[in-house]
A and B are shown apart, each in its own frame.
Chain A
Amino acid sequence: MIAPTKPDLVTVNIDGKEIAVPKGTNVIEAARLVNIDVPHYCYHPKLTVVGNCRMCLIEMGMPAVDPATKAPVMDPATGKQKINWIPRPQIGCGTNVSPGLHVRTTSPMVKDAREGVMEFLLINHPLDCPICDQAGECKLQEQSTGYGRGYSRFIEQKNVKPKRTQLGPRVTLDDERCILCSRCIRFSKEVAKDDVLGFIDRGSYSTLTCYPGKQLENNYSLNTVDICPVGALTSTDFRFKMRVWFLKQTNSVDPESSVGANTVVWSREGVIYRITPRRNDAVNDTWMADSGRVLYKQVKSDTRLTTIKVNGADSALDIAIHAAAELCKAGRVAIVGSGRSSVEEQFLTKKLAAALGVSVSLVSRVGQGDKLLISADRNPNVRGALVTGLITALPAAKLTELSAAIDAGTVTTVVSLGEDLATAGLTAAQLTKISVVYLGTHANATSAAAKIILPTLTGFEKSGTFVNQQFRIQKFLKAVPGPVGATDDLVVLAKLVTAAGTAIAASEVGPLWKLIAAEVPALGTMTFANLPETGLLLDATPYAALPFAEGETLHYKPAAQPAAATT
């Protein structure tokens, strides 16, 4: 193992607490390390510093040195080096630590500066918290409670600005609430690389808007809503739906691609209202794609499978399992596993294949990466299948081998784990030739042709793990219960494996991990419970030779491919 390089540490003193922090840290972040809150609006750890909100003003001083001799000047009262305090407050976001820096965050000067800024921010703010979606997670609310004076001296008319501008298909702007922090502008320019937002007009009449003829329509537009410290930018989807303090937060992972952006699923009483990103500095920083935020809509979809069926007739789980086992016992079986299945499901899929003595193919989903948080491989967990040993090579573009086997009559039964065989390369004629056992969440051509349908759960209704493109194993947790009629994939798989003749003791994630840890060497030291929230990197070296599809994304660089053999 290569020891990580030790960053240059600088010792600073914040409100009397000494702390060593890496060089280049600003005062806000340094204070955070000693649990001191420096309130701020415009500063965001993942964006450039502009220092315009002036909320993070702090008092700073440096140890006094004699200008001639450079010798420290001592304070006889304390016996310590004298501190020269700067008479004007400085911004914490734009002040980087330097050796001996002293900071006061609670002095009268700082308190007065914060009260002044809070008052200024509120005088033209509509104070419509009772109808504002941001209420409950609003920095303006929090910090006026924490650092404001608590009364108003403003008797003039407030400025009037546009109340509901559609900045794009997913974002609605209330300009009166905007405090002009410019986070959204910087995000669009610096992260999304889609420079469409700007201010027009001057002074307090400054108004956020899109450039003429432009829209905020990129696939990252909703991140502006997340980072908006107030209720100015709102998600058109979530707007006026639910008060945020009623919502339960469940950690999850975006299953759109092998990036595995960390997310939070917000739900109440079994209904999901929104999905937001969760900070993971090694994966997605504080961002996620808009497309990943609407995935919760599949939970309550019209095409959701909620009835167990055998030969078109409604059935019960054990009957269907028995029917499936009978089909499998007849032989000539193939399994189509999935790169969308969790590691646990893939582990059981492998068990099933072993019990039946058949091969498994995976469906490939390669598209264009967006160089940010959607990678070229749209399967979230192909690497999980490699780690569990379900596959040893990357999935082929189409199910050509299976297709040939069906035509040759060597396969007559296919167990599909949520994969639509029609889109994966099988023809309608081939589908009619075979018996399909379909485990899945939504109706499609395969479920329509299936002999046996076993409805299962979406990623929001179950727990599990994905291994992302960095070989980082990350867990997602059950946010809401599944619908009546759908069964946890692990339960279905465990029953199928058992019916095939190999007893499986566990069908829940926790106990199952004991088996996984025992059988999969790469996961040998882990349990599901102790997996960190931000995931754990696995050793990728055994797979270094595989030609993965991903190009560069936010925190991922593809390994240099060995030069193609020139023969």
Chain B
Amino acid sequence: MPAPAQTRIIFQHIDEPGYTNDLACYVRNGGYEVLKKAVTRKPEELIDEVKKSGLRGRGGAGFPCGVKWGLVDRKSGKPIYLIVNADESEPGTFKDRYIIHQDPHQLIEGTMISCFANNVKQAYIYIRGEFPHGAKILEKAIAEARAANLVGPNILGTTYNCEIYVHRGAGAYICGEETGLIESLEGKRANPRIKPPYFPAVLGLYQCPTIVNNVETLCHVKYIAQHGGEAFAKIGTPGNTGTRVFCVSGHVQRPGYYEFPAGTITLGQLLNEVCGGPLPGRKLKAVIPGGSSAKILRFGERFKGKRKVGAEMVDYDWGVEDVPMDFDSLGMIGTMGGSGGVIVMDDSVNMVEALANINAFYSHESCGQCTPCREGSLWMKKITTRMVHGEARNEDAALLKSVADQIPGRTICAFGEACSWPTQSFIAKFGDEFKQYPETKKTAKPAGAAALI
């Protein structure tokens, strides 16, 4: 079955020749018309549209956006804040940066609509420290929008006021976790908060109700406000509505970003047809489908079970290539859609060395607050680094698995899962490579191979 055509909603203008990131260009292409209409509607209507759309958060967890908005404490009398999570730091993910760099007004319009819908008077764009250029672009775009009365006091002649501020992070992965982000935005160390009691919807930024949404999610809100929740829900598959941007990196002919209706394309179509398949003379070996913390899939393995199609339960028997790219299908086979970062590895990659790289990242990024993640992530890194650069032992695979098993589900935030799932899945799927690694190491690397982390 040939791959479907791309449906570019969010990335409509990305890389379009002649399209610039200034307000004039955005307005020329119909920009801010949705906001103009939105401010004449009732906020509740807009929230209903988002609920009807079934939009799921694009940051990684896939939590329904309408539900998130519905949880916000609107009775406390405290101000409600909206935070745009632009701390795109999951390795393998590079969608938000293109929106920010090339189409910042789309984000601002989506943000303003969401703020209006939720009666938010102050919004923050928390952008990762490694995006200095993106931060400047956003600052400029917000200034333009403010000058055009699209942001700030009495927008578009209404009585509605809303400011957007850009806040730059200092370069920490954990700031992408919403409560860690909130702490950081408050000027503190980005230690994620315990839930309960600190659910952002009730006790978020400055202990006020707070909505934290991903950049891409808010751009989808703009589309939903324009076309209605039902129209949005028709894109994609039930439960996985709208489009998804996939950021494909690694050993394929044409890595890059591709936008498809969720669940309409399989992993095989995406990699082999859209991305041109493996590099010449190589074979695909493994793929991480949703950012580096998602569990890895091994080409050649099969997934069987029952799934719901409409009202019926249907048997499925999938190879990795057959898996539809949506939250639920990827969840069913034990991994996740995550942030949409698809990392492809071919047969030139040794999985021990790949895991050593991932472990080095996560041990460096653990905030250090709770014990299992703080100590476990560094221990796993020390083991894999020793395997690669020092002595590898036969028993290391079992030890790694046991260490990883002591982390997930026992930490304050999902970083515990993020840092342990790679180790768990690499060993589950490629345990033989770990056991053979002491032998593998004896073979010299090909000339010109990249240095190992």
Enumerate chain A interface residues (CB-CB to B < 8 A): 49-55, 57, 88-89, 91, 94, 112-113, 116-117, 119-121, 123-124, 153-154, 156-157, 159, 179-180, 198-199, 201-206
Contact = CB atoms under 8 A, between A and B. Distances in A.
Given A120-B379, A199-B189, 4 more contacts: A52-B371, A53-B370, A117-B406, A157-B382
B202 to A, nearest CB: 15
B386 A117 contact: no
Given A120-B406, A156-B382, A198-B189, A55 B371 contact: yes
B368 interface: yes
A120 B189 contact: no
A121 B368 CA distance: 12
Contacts of B406: 112-113, 116-117, 119-120
B365 interface: yes
B399 A124 contact: no
A523 B382 CA distance: 67
Contact of A203 (B374, B399, B411): B374
B194 A199 contact: no
Contacts of A154: 379
22 contacts: A51-B370, A52-B370, A52-B371, A54-B370, A54-B372, A89-B410, A94-B196, A116-B372, A116-B406, A117-B372, A120-B375, A124-B375, A153-B399, A153-B402, A156-B379, A156-B382, A157-B382, A180-B371, A203-B366, A203-B368, A203-B377, A204-B366
Contact of B364 (A91, A94, A156, A202): A202
Contacts of A199: 189, 368
B243 interface: no
A291 to B, nearest CB: 32
Interface residues of B, number: 32
Contact of B375 (A51, A55, A94, A204): A204
Given A116-B406, A203-B363, A203-B366, A180 B194 contact: no
A197 to B, nearest CB: 12
B363 A204 contact: yes
B297 interface: no
A172 to B, nearest CB: 22
Interface string B348-387: 0000000000000001111111111011111100110010
Contacts of B366: 202-204
B365 A51 contact: no
Interface of B: 172, 189, 191, 194, 196, 363-372, 374-379, 382-383, 386, 399, 402, 406-407, 409-412
Contacts of B194: 49-51, 91, 94
Nearest to B370: A52
Given A199-B368, A202-B364, A203-B366, A156 B386 contact: yes
Contacts of B365: 202-203
A203 B189 contact: no
Which of B172, B189, B369, B382 is most buried by chain A, counting CB atoms within 10 A of its CB?
B369
Contacts of A159: 378
B384 to A, nearest CB: 11
A121 B367 contact: no
B196 to A, nearest CB: 7
Nearest to B396: A155
Nearest to B368: A206
B371 A89 contact: no
A321 to B, nearest CB: 65
Nearest to B390: A156
Contacts of B367: 202-203
B226 to A, nearest CB: 36
Contact of A113 (B379, B399, B410): B410
B225 to A, nearest CB: 33
A180 B374 CA distance: 10
A205 to B, nearest CB: 7
Given A53-B370, A202-B367, A89 B409 contact: yes
A180 B368 contact: yes
A360 B378 CA distance: 70
Contacts of B191: 52
A95 to B, nearest CB: 8
A74 to B, nearest CB: 29
A301 B409 CA distance: 57
Contacts of B376: 120
Nearest to B362: A203
A53 to B, nearest CB: 6
Contacts of A57: 410
B410 A117 contact: yes
A201 B374 CA distance: 12
Contacts of A91: 194
Which of A116, A153, A198 is most buried by chain B, counting CB atoms within 10 A of its CB?
A116
A205 B411 CA distance: 18
Contacts of A88: 409-410
A179 B406 CA distance: 18
Contacts of A202: 172, 364-368
A50 B278 CA distance: 48
B382 A120 contact: no
Contacts of B372: 54, 116-117, 120
